[in-house]
Structure 1
Amino acid sequence: MKVNSITLIKEGGAKVYEKFAELLDKTNKTAYQVSKDTGIGQNIFSNWKAGRSNPKADKLKILADYFGVSIEYFLE
């Protein structure tokens, strides 16, 4: 059961990063630009991409507002 929980957390961060990457492509932004504009550290994006951490609600809210999407967009 413990392994499944860890896997779910890793998949969650990676899936959110996929959505984030789609928004980067659509808006012609880089992770660096978004980091600078939002104050979210680039290391956080890297951790999501690698599946090392799961996004927190406050970061998702900042990104949702920045890109003009709902928080649910990242969770679909």
Structure 2
Amino acid sequence: MFYEKLQELAKSTGKSFNQIENDLNYSKNTLYHYRKTNPTQDRLLELADYFNVSVDYLLGRTENRKEDLTEQENALVRAFRIESEDMTEEEQAQFNKSLKDMMKIAKDLLNDDSNWKK
């Protein structure tokens, strides 16, 4: 899926893999190797930035090319993914519920001015 997305993005921008590799200072045939291997996290981020798309789009997890999230929201999403990547589906569901509950508590605390008086 990743390799096909790369091909699609290269075609839509009118660039060859060689041009993209040169632009990103990758060695020759780096992008062709992704037919059989997976890129590193750093490469995923570089390619997403290069094409101005989300990593999720590159991985085929969404059809939306770019998420309209703020940098703070993106940081929260990255933290969530890091913390939940080794969890089972059941653990992820429990984790999500806990986070939603904590966010409600945090919002209530934020809205209570007595928490912020010195």
Question: Fold conserved (TM > 0.5)?
Answer: yes
Q: What is the CA distance between 1:55 and its match in structure 2? A: 1.1
Instruction: From the two aligned structures, give the one with the greater helix fraction.
Output: 1
Q: CA RMSD in A?
A: 1.1
Structure with bigger RCO (C-alpha 8 Å, 6+ apart): 1
How many angstroms apart in 1 are the aligned matches of 2:58 and 2:27? 18
**Partner of 2:41 in structure 1?**
57
Larger C-alpha radius of gyration, 1 or 2?
2
Q: Does residue 15 of structure 2 align to residue 33 of structure 1?
A: no
Percent identity reads: 38
- Segments of structure 2 that go 5 or more residues without pairing to the other structure are 61-118
**Equivalent residues of 1:16, 1:55 under 8 A apart:** no
1:16 aligns with 2:2: yes
1:71 alignment partner in structure 2: 55
Unaligned runs of 5+ in 1: 1-14
Number of residue pairs aligned between Structure 1 and Structure 2: 60
Instruction: Report the 3-state secondary structure (helix = DSSP H, G, I; strand = E; otherwise coil) of the residue aligned with 2:34.
Output: helix
Normalized against structure 2, the TM-score is what? 0.48
- Structure 1 runs of 4+ with >3 Å offset: none
Question: What TM-score do you get using the length of structure 1 for normalisation?
Answer: 0.72
